[in-house]
Structure 1
Amino acid sequence: MPLKQIKLHKLNMRLKAPFTTSFGTFQDKEFFVTECIDREGNRGFGESVAFTSPWYSEETVKTNEHVIEDFLIKALKENDIEHPDQVSELFAPFKRNNMAKSAVEGAIWDLYAKRKNISLAKAIGGEKTEIDVGISIGIQPTVKDLLNTVDHYVQEGYKRIKIKIKPGWDVDVLREVRKHFPDTPIMADANSAYTLKDIDHLKQLDDLDLTMIEQPLEHDDIVDHAKLQAVMETPICLDESIHSLADARKAIELGSCKIINIKIGRVGGLTEAKRIHDYCRDHDIAVWCGGMLEAGVGRAHNIALTTLSQFILPGDTAGSSRYWEQDIIKPEVTVKDGVIHVPDKPGIGYDIDDEALEKFTVDVKTFQL
């Protein structure tokens, strides 16, 4: 692909409401939109998903900027790319920093699909024309607030409700939710808030018929999760522990989980996400696509990924209006009865709203290739 320029747009967007997890609370989202431009003027877009603080992983907005500018763009200058799958090989010498890699690789995948005049979903081998989606609900001020929030999204038709938990806001809260919503698929997301000392406490969740509990133990663990899964009926889903196909293989062999959450940014891009998907498909492990409070570009990439066959559980890709007063794509992502219809336009399937992009941009840098 004859790459000509890469633009690094730094944005700051305010969520409609504060979002609280076991990590903390925030409302302003600072991130990068990457733009790759070829010599014919085609534009491909990716999005970084790191936060300003290293809550979720060691990566931050600042480290993304450093790695993209000083290493990844330089690697692209020095090498020719014929297919996006080559990008992950090109970036392999640079350890970790998967969110930075994904932001650049995603823009190249979008550009590739546009040059081929096919959708990104088709470019990566997806077949679905619509996907089921759920909703992720942060920790609420009161149980009553949580019940009202759950009811709102159940009425909107979302296929699954994910509830953030932490010690002191877990079993009793989920028991109350289950009492009011006996037939709703519910999962709990712990974001590494527990240890093996909490086994007896966590085993109480087995009475609540949860779809899964996500990442209850340490963010980099697969050994203790295997011990916990061995004594729990509730399926464990791994999130933060899975950064690569190698991680997924080891977790599955150890019996650390029954489900894997594939996040494009966490695993370094669509190419590695596809590899993990294929391995899980071959080993009968259900997968789903988690969210990182993305704006429209990242949301579109998630939609494309979820068209792969083994994404059999509803993901976190809610509509744009769930999080933003205004998104940076046209049309915005919409959900009807818990379903998103996959766009078939070339690339990510949505147009960039250049006015909105400029409105939320606080800095932009252009690099010649």
Structure 2
Amino acid sequence: MKITQIDLHVIEMDLVAPFVTSLGSVSGRRGILVEAHDESGVTGYGEAVAFSTPWYTEETVATCYHMIKDILAPLLLNTYFSYPKEAAERMAAVRKNPMAKAALDMAIWDIYAKKRGEPLSKVIGGTRNEVLAGVAVGADTIEELLAQINHAKNDGYKRVKVKIGPGNDLDRIRAIRHSYPEMAILADANSSYFSFEKDLYELDAFGLQMIEQPLHPDDLVQHAELQKKLKTPICLDESITSFQDAWSAIQLGSCQVINIKIGRVGGITEAIRIHDLCEKHGIQVWCGGMLEFGVSRAHNIALSTLKGFSIPGDISSSKRYWKKDITSPEVQVSNGIIRPFKGAGIGVEIDWKRVEEVCIQHVVVK
């Protein structure tokens, strides 16, 4: 395939309800829809999932826009690739910036699968006919959290991820466990604990599925020490931005679970490598979410069909976050399960009328 044109659509939509974490509250979402055109007329889609400010990682919508438009897209344009991995290797000449790279990597995989006339899930070796879906909840009060969880339970979700942080942990988890004694609960700290605080040890009593990213993203050693002292599995999220990070974490014993986010690790190419590494070493994996639009959700579903994804991921129904998504059909969860899309590539179409309604900037790179 030969990429001849790349369109960047910066879009912005309000969330149905604010999403609260230890790092702040998000009420609106801006992102970049990437539209890559092959010389044969096939179009593939990707999504840059960075936030507008660098609270989750150092990347932002603005930095991704710059990196794709001015640096990464020119590296890929008018060059022949026989396989998506070759494009990823070419982008490796640029250090870091995984979310910008991921957006292009997604689009190229979509083109590759469409040219083969097969669903992306099949092309990457997916074997699951059903994808397990969980949901992330975040609110200011315990009452609001319980209401969100009750709504999720009624929608059929079997696993709930709860945002916690120092001072907002034990009371929340205790109340949730009391109300939902059988539900699988994941506590996500978003790196908000700065040491082996007492509350982290006390969380061991609640039978959590895992504690996600309790300590600083760059500190694999401290996570390894903490994991030795906890019965509850530690899951790493922000710490894992590449295959090398995953390998180091496994060697140190820093975790028992890894959350694989396509955007955070640099694309589907790298996500598959991390999945295969974890499967080899007995590390559980699941697919995390980034409050994405429909394109990234479709890619997440395809990735989650790989054998190792045995834990429900953050691939909730589009309606939980958006009044109307930018793709058709929208992602729908039924009884905690999503059926992979059957069409070629990511299996969804872009709702261009909706994109026009929410687009705030469009540029063509040739």
Q: Distance in 2 between matches of 1:159 and 1:289?
A: 15
1:137 aligns with 2:156: no
One-letter amino acid matched to 1:49: V
Match for residue 11 of structure 2? 11
Give the drift of 1:240: 0.3
Q: Distance in 2 between matches of 1:301 and 1:77?
A: 22
1:228 aligns with 2:226: yes
Q: What does 1:82-161 align with in structure 2 at a 5 Å threshold?
A: 82-138=82-138, 140-161=139-160
Match for residue 42 of structure 2? 42
Partner of 1:196, secondary structure, is coil
Match for residue 183 of structure 1? 182
Partner of 2:32, secondary structure, is strand
Match for residue 191 of structure 2? 192
1:291 aligns with 2:298: no
Give the drift of 1:219: 1.7
Partner of 1:107, secondary structure, is helix
1:117-167 Cα distance to aligned partner (Å, 9 max, x none): 0001111111111111000001x2321221121111112110200000011
Partner of 1:95, secondary structure, is coil
Q: Distance in 2 between matches of 1:329 and 1:181?
A: 34
Please say if residues 277 and 310 of structure 1, whose CA atoms lie closer than 8 Å, have aligned partners that are also in contact: yes
Give the drift of 1:78: 6.0
1:29-67 Cα distance to aligned partner (Å, 9 max, x none): 111000011223221000000001000000001110111
Q: Distance in 2 between matches of 1:362 and 1:110?
A: 24
Please say if residues 196 and 228 of structure 1, whose CA atoms lie closer than 8 Å, have aligned partners that are also in contact: no
1:166-191 Cα distance to aligned partner (Å, 9 max, x none): 11110121011101100000010000
One-letter amino acid matched to 1:53: T
Give the drift of 1:221: 1.8
Give the drift of 1:364: 0.8
Please say if residues 119 and 343 of structure 1, whose CA atoms lie closer than 8 Å, have aligned partners that are also in contact: yes
Please say if residues 193 and 216 of structure 2, whose CA atoms lie closer than 8 Å, have aligned partners that are also in contact: yes
Partner of 2:152, secondary structure, is helix
Match for residue 275 of structure 1? 273
Q: Distance in 2 between matches of 1:180 and 1:163?
A: 14
Partner of 1:281, secondary structure, is helix
Give the drift of 1:80: 2.2
Give the TM-score, by structure 2 length.
0.98
Q: Pick which of 339-348 and 142-151 moved more.
A: 142-151
Give the drift of 1:238: 0.2
Q: Distance in 2 between matches of 1:216 and 1:288?
A: 17
Q: Pick which of 237-246 and 76-85 moved more.
A: 76-85
Give the drift of 1:363: 1.2
One-letter amino acid matched to 2:186: M
Q: Distance in 1 between matches of 2:161 and 2:6?
A: 36
Partner of 1:34, secondary structure, is strand
Give the drift of 1:196: 2.0
Match for residue 247 of structure 1? 245
Please say if residues 4 and 78 of structure 2, whose CA atoms lie closer than 8 Å, have aligned partners that are also in contact: no
Q: Which consecutive aligned stretches of 4+ in structure 1 deviate over 3 angstroms post-superposition?
A: none
1:297-352 Cα distance to aligned partner (Å, 9 max, x none): 00000000000000010000001001000001111110100000001110101111
Q: Distance in 2 between matches of 1:65 and 1:141?
A: 32
Q: Distance in 1 between matches of 2:273 and 2:40?
A: 31
Please say if residues 214 and 239 of structure 1, whose CA atoms lie closer than 8 Å, have aligned partners that are also in contact: yes
Q: Distance in 1 between matches of 2:341 and 2:296?
A: 14
Count of aligned residue pairs for this structure pair:
366
Partner of 1:327, secondary structure, is coil
Q: Distance in 1 between matches of 2:114 and 2:77?
A: 21
Q: Distance in 2 between matches of 1:219 and 1:70?
A: 29
Q: Distance in 2 between matches of 1:367 and 1:304?
A: 27
How big is the alpha-carbon RMSD for the aligned residues of Structure 1 and Structure 2? 1.0
Match for residue 25 of structure 1? 25
Match for residue 73 of structure 1? 73
Gaps spanning 5+ residues in structure 2: where? none
Give the TM-score, by structure 1 length.
0.97
Partner of 1:183, secondary structure, is coil
Q: Distance in 2 between matches of 1:348 and 1:134?
A: 20
Q: Distance in 2 between matches of 1:262 and 1:289?
A: 5
Please say if residues 48 and 102 of structure 1, whose CA atoms lie closer than 8 Å, have aligned partners that are also in contact: yes
Q: Distance in 1 between matches of 2:237 and 2:314?
A: 13
Give the drift of 1:353: 0.8
One-letter amino acid matched to 1:349: G
Match for residue 343 of structure 1? 341
Gaps spanning 5+ residues in structure 1: where? none
Q: Distance in 2 between matches of 1:119 and 1:365?
A: 28
Please say if residues 10 and 359 of structure 2, whose CA atoms lie closer than 8 Å, have aligned partners that are also in contact: yes
